[in-house]
Structure 1
Amino acid sequence: MISENELVFTLALQRVPNLGDASAKKLLQHIGSAEGVFKEKKQNLLKIDGIGASKIKDLSSDRFLEEAEAELSYMKANDISFSYFKDSNYPEKLKHCIDGPMLLFQKGRIDLPKRKILSIVGTRKITTYGKAFCEQLIEELAPLDPIIVSGFAYGVDIVAHKAAMEHGLQTIACLAHGFEQVYPKVHKKYIPSIEENGGFLTEFWSNDAFDRTNFLRRNRIIAGMSEATIVIESAEKGGSLVTADIANSYNREVFAVPGRTSDSQSEGCNDLIKSQQARLLTCAADIVYMLGWKLDKTPVKSVQAELFVALTDEETIVYEYLNQHEKVLLDEISQHCTMPTYKVATLLLSLELKGVVRPIPGKLFQVV
Structure 2
Amino acid sequence: MSSEELQYVLALQHISNLGDTTAKKLIGHFGSTKNIFQQKKSDLLKLTGIGTSRVRDFHNASHLKAAEEELRFIEENKVKVLYFRDADYPEKLKHCIDGPVLLFQRGNIDLNNQKIISVVGTRKITQSGIAFCEQFIEDLSVLNPVIVSGFAYGVDITAQKSAVANNLQTIGCLAHGLNQIYPKVHQKYVASIEENGGFFTDFWSSDDFDRNNFLKRNRIIAGLSEATVVIESAEKGGSLVTADIANSYNREVFAVPGRPTDKLSKGCNNLIKSQNAHLLSSAADLVYMLNWQPEKEAKAIQKQLFIELEDEEKKVFEFLTKEGKAQLDSIALNCNFPSFKTAGILINMELKGVVRPLPGKLFELI
TM-score past 0.5 threshold: yes
Q: Name the structure 1 match of 2:339.
A: none
Question: Which residue does the alignment assign to 2:255?
Answer: 256
Is the 2:37–2:59 contact (alpha carbons within 8 Å) kept by the matching residues of 1?
Answer: yes
**What is the deviation of 1:311?**
7.6
C-alpha contact (below 8 Å) 1:181/1:210 kept by paired residues: no
State yes or no: 1:338 paired with 2:364.
no
SS of the residue 2:148 aligns to: strand
Aligned to 2:303: none
User: 1: CA distance between counterparts of 2:151 and 2:125?
Assistant: 14
For residue 117 of structure 2, give the secondary structure of its aligned residue in structure 1. Answer: strand
Alignment of 1:52-201 (within 5 A): 52-201=51-200
**d(CA) in 2 for partners of 1:80 and 1:265?**
37
SS in 2 for 1:133: helix
1:259-313 deviations in whole A, cap 9, x for unaligned? 1112111111011111111100011111111111136996799xxxxxxxx9843
Instruction: Specify whether residues 185 and 296 from structure 1 end up closer, same or farther in structure 2 by C-alpha distance, changes over 3 A only.
Output: farther
* Structure 1 residue ranges (4+ consecutive) displaced by more than 4 angstroms after TM superposition: 295-301, 339-342
**Higher deviation after alignment, 130-139 or 255-264:** 255-264
Contact 1:286 1:342 in 2 (8 A): no
**Aligned AA (1:255):** F
1:73 Cα shift? 1.1
Residue 81 of structure 1 aligns with an amino acid whose one-letter code is K
Q: Which protein has the larger Cα radius of gyration, Structure 1 or Structure 2?
A: 2
Residue 188 of structure 1: SS of its match in structure 2? helix
Question: Which residue in the other structure is 1:352 paired with?
Answer: none
Measured in 1, the distance between the counterparts of 2:311 and 2:158 equals 30
Shift of 1:87: 1.2
- Residues 6, 284 of structure 1: CA spacing in aligned structure 2 closer, same or farther, 3 A cutoff? same
Alignment partners' CA distance in 2, 1:298 and 1:145: 16
Write the mapping of 1:242-253 to structure 2, written as runs, cut at 5 A: 242-253=241-252
Question: For the Cα contact (< 8 Å) 1:231–1:244, is it kept in 2?
Answer: yes
Q: How does 1:212-361 map to 2 (within 5 A)?
A: 212-294=211-293, 312-323=311-322, 325=323, 337-339=346-348, 343-345=352-354
In structure 1, how many angstroms separate the alpha carbons of the residues matched to 2:320 and 2:6? 59
- After alignment, is 182-191 or 44-53 more displaced? 44-53
Q: Percent identity?
A: 59
- In the alignment, the residues of structure 2 paired with residue 82 and residue 327 of structure 1 have an alpha-carbon distance, to the nearest angstrom, of 50
- One-letter amino acid of the structure 1 residue matched with residue 269 of structure 2: N
Tell me the secondary structure at the aligned position of residue 97 of structure 1.
Answer: coil
Closer/same/farther in 2, CA of residues 295 and 148 from structure 1, 3 Å limit:
farther
How far apart in 1 are the matches of 2:311 and 2:123? Answer: 37
Amino acid at match of 2:180: Q
Aligned pairs (5 A) from 1:30-69: 30-69=29-68
- Structure 2 alignment gaps of length 5 or more: 301-308, 332-342, 357-363
Give the number of aligned pairs: 337
Given that residues 148 and 172 in structure 1 are in contact (C-alpha distance below 8 angstroms), is that contact kept between their aligned partners in structure 2?
yes
Would you say the 8 A contact 1:120–1:149 is kept in 2? yes
AA partner of residue 71 (structure 2): L
Deviation at 1:342, TM superposition (A): 6.6
Deviates more, 1:38-47 or 1:291-300: 291-300
Q: State whether residues 82 and 106 of structure 1, in contact with CA within 8 Å, keep that contact through their aligned partners in structure 2.
A: yes
Unpaired runs of 5+ residues, structure 1, are: 302-309, 349-363
In structure 2, distance between residues paired with 1:202 and 1:82 = 10
Q: Distance in 2 between matches of 1:90 and 1:52?
A: 29
Structure-2 separation of matches of 1:173 and 1:62: 34
TM-score, length-scaled by structure 2: 0.86
Give the AA of the match of 2:277. Answer: A
Partner of 1:191, secondary structure, is: helix
Task: Tell me the equivalent position of 1:7.
Answer: 6
Secondary structure of 2:131's aligned partner: helix
CA displacement 1:293-342 (0-9 Å, x = unmatched):
136996799xxxxxxxx98432321221343x3568xxxx9x99335657
In structure 2, how many angstroms separate the alpha carbons of the residues matched to 1:203 and 1:126? 27
| 1:8 counterpart SS class | helix
CA separation of 1:321 and 1:69: change in aligned 2, threshold 3 A: same
Q: Residue in 2 aligned with 1:18? A: 17
RMSD of equivalent CA atoms? 2.6
Q: 1:173 is paired with a residue of what secondary structure?
A: strand
Please list the CA deviations of residues 211-238 of structure 1 after superposition, one character each: whole Å capped at 9, or x if unmatched. 1011111001000111000000001111
Deviation at 1:173, TM superposition (A): 0.4
CA distance in 2, matches of 1:296, 1:343: 21
